[in-house]
């Protein structure tokens, strides 16, 4: 099938499908006219890629574990897969902790700002001296 048909069947833009091919997540054959020709199985592969991206995995990890997938998100045991998944989970946990810190600081900034009038602290509001 041509890239336009693959795009219609998967809901993924042609540009993104070309990116997936450049990063070796999918592959195609070239027709005599140079057009990309995708196998019908590529539809399911694109769906797997999308599911793994939604799980927060980067394309380099997806490329490593994609051969181990057998449906949308389940994996067969393959060397290094669990290590890669655990490493990615650690990265996501750290990002979540960083975001929570940023949220807390933003809430404090909003609260402090709400307690000021025209840049002057409201009566009874403690302020800190810049260091």
Residues 19 and 2 in one domain: yes
Residues 10 and 26 in one domain: yes
> Residue 72: pLDDT above 80?
no
Residues 4 and 59 in one domain: yes
Our count of domains for the chain comes to 2
The residue written with tokens 């693959």 in the block is: 6
CB 43 within 8 A of CB 10: yes
Task: For residue 18, give the CATH number of its domain.
Answer: 1.10.1660.10
pLDDT at position 123 is 60
pLDDT at position 23 is 94
Compute the distance between CA of residue 63 and CA of residue 54 in angstroms, rounded to an integer.
15
> Residue 73: pLDDT above 60?
no
Residues 52 and 71 in one domain: yes
Q: Give the mean model confidence (pLDDT) for residues 93-104.
A: 96
Residues 60 and 21 in one domain: yes
Q: Give pLDDT tens digits for 33-56.
A: 999 999 999 999 999 999 889 988
- Three-state DSSP at 29 gives strand
Compute the distance between CA of residue 130 and CA of residue 18 in angstroms, rounded to an integer.
51
* CA 103 to each of CA 90, 109, 125: distance values in angstroms, whole numbers, following the listed order: 20, 10, 22
> Residue 128: pLDDT above 90?
no
Which of the listed ranges 4-8, 54-58, 88-92, 125-129 does the model predict with the highest average pLDDT? 4-8
Which of the listed ranges 48-52, 64-68, 104-108 does the model predict with the highest average pLDDT? 104-108
pLDDT at position 115 is 84
Residues 16 and 69 in one domain: yes
Of residues 86 and 69, more confidently modeled: 86
pLDDT at position 85 is 86
- Which domain does 102 fall in, by range? 79-131
Residues 88 and 68 in one domain: no
Six-digit token string for 41: 């199985």
């Amino acid at each position: 099938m041509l890239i336009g048909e693959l795009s219609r069947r998967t809901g993924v833009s042609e540009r993104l499908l070309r990116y997936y091919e450049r990063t070796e997540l999918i592959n195609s054959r070239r027709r005599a006219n140079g057009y990309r020709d995708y196998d019908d199985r590529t539809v399911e592969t694109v769906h797997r890629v999308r599911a793994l991206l939604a799980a927060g995995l980067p394309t380099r990890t997806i490329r490593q574990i994609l051969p181990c997938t057998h449906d949308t998100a389940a994996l067969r045991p393959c060397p290094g897969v669990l290590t890669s998944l655990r490493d990615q989970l650690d990265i996501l946990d750290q990002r979540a902790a960083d975001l929570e810190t940023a949220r807390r600081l933003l809430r404090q900034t909003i609260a402090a700002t709400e307690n000021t009038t025209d840049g002057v602290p409201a009566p009874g509001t403690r302020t800190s001296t810049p260091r």
